[in-house]
Amino acid sequence: MELIDKTIHELHRMLIGGEVTSVALTRAFLQRIAETDNRINAFITVCEEQALKDSEAADRLIAEGKADLLTGIPVALKDIFLTAGVRTTCASKILDTFIAPYDGTAVARLKERGAVIVGKLNMDEFAMGSSNENSAFGPVKNPWDTSTVPGGSSGGSAASVAARQAVATLGTDTGGSIRQPASHCGVVGLKPTYGRVSRYGVIAYASSLDQVGPISRDVEDCAILLQAIAGYDPADSTSVDTPVPDYRAGIKDGVKGLKIGLPKEYFIEGLDPEVKAAMEAAIETYRGLGAEFVDVSLPHTDYAVASYYLIATAEASSNLARYDGVRFGVRVDQGRGLIDMFEQTRAAGFGDEVKRRIMLGTYALSSGYYDAYYLKAQKVRTLIRQDFLEAFQAVDVLLTPVAPTPAFGLGEKVSDPLQMYLSDIFTIPVNLAGTCAMSLPCGFSSAGLPIGLQLIGKPFAEQTLLRVGYAFEQATEWHRKKADL
**Where on the chain is the footprint of ligand GLN (CB under 6 A)?**
127-130, 153, 173-177, 205, 312, 424
For the bound state, the minimum distance from the C-beta of residue 153 to ligand GLN, rounded and expressed in Å, comes to 4
Q: How far is the CB of 469 from ligand GLN (least distance, A)?
A: 20
CA distance 276 to 272: 6
Give yes or no: 216 in active site. Answer: no
Report which residue type is found at 223. A
Please state the closest distance from residue 205 (CB atom) to ligand GLN, in A: 6
Could you tell me the smallest distance in angstroms from the CB atom of residue 249 to ligand GLN?
Answer: 30
Q: Which of 6, 22, 55, 78 is catalytic?
A: 78
User: Considering beta carbons, is residue 239 or 423 the nearer one to ligand GLN?
Assistant: 423
**Cα gap 42→29, rounded to integer Å:** 13
Helix axes 462-475, 273-288, angle to 10 degrees: 90
Three-state DSSP state, 211 = strand
**CA 320/CA 394 separation, integer angstroms:** 41
Active site residue 482: no
Give yes or no for a cis peptide into 153 (omega within 30° of 0): yes
Stated length of the chain:
485
Q: What is the largest distance, in Å, between two alpha-carbon atoms of the chain?
A: 71
Distance of CA 406 to the CA centre of its chain: 17
- Angle 279-470-265 from CA coordinates, rounded to 5°: 30
Nearest to 135 by CA among 115, 118, 151, 117: 151
Residue among 55, 92, 177, 317 flagged as catalytic: 177
How far apart are alpha carbons 363 and 458 in whole angstroms?
34
Q: Least CB distance from residue 200 to ligand GLN, whole Å?
A: 18
State yes or no: is 177 an active-site residue. Answer: yes
Q: Which is nearer to ligand GLN, 260 or 364 (CB)?
A: 364
Cα Rg of the chain (Å, integer): 21
- How far apart CA 266 and CA 471 sit, in angstroms, is 23
Residue 151 in 3-state DSSP? coil
Q: Supply the minimum distance, in Å, between the C-beta of residue 253 and ligand GLN.
A: 31
Q: Can you tell me the distance from the alpha carbon of 419 to that of 390, in angstroms, rounded to the nearest whole number? A: 30
Task: Pick the closer one to ligand GLN by CB: 133 or 218.
Answer: 133
As measured in angstroms, the least distance from the Cβ of 88 to ligand GLN is 16
Q: Which is nearer to ligand GLN, 168 or 203 (CB)?
A: 203
C-beta closer to ligand GLN: residue 69 or 121: 121
Q: Torsion angle of alpha carbons 415, 142, 403, 176, nearest 10°? A: -90
How many helices (H) and strands (E) the chain has is answered by 15, 11
119 beta partners: 46, 76
Q: What angle do CA 466, 187, 93 make, to 5 degrees?
A: 115
The one-letter code for the residue type at 84 is A
Minimum CB–partner distance for residue 286 and ligand GLN (Å):
27
Catalytic residue among 55, 92, 153, 423: 153
Tell me if 311 sits within 8 A of 206, measured CB to CB: yes
User: What is the CB neighbour count within 10 angstroms for residue 65?
Assistant: 7
For ligand GLN, give the closer residue by CB, 202 or 391: 202
Whichever of 177 and 319 has its CB closer to ligand GLN, that residue is 177
* Through-space distance between the first and last CA atoms of the chain, rounded to whole angstroms: 15
Backbone angles phi, psi at 439, to 5 degrees: -115, 135
For the bound state, the minimum distance from the C-beta of residue 193 to ligand GLN, rounded and expressed in Å, comes to 15
Got the DSSP string for 131-149?
SS-S-TT----BTTBTTB-
- In terms of CB distance, is 103 or 173 closer to ligand GLN? 173
Task: Report the catalytic residues.
Answer: 78, 153, 177
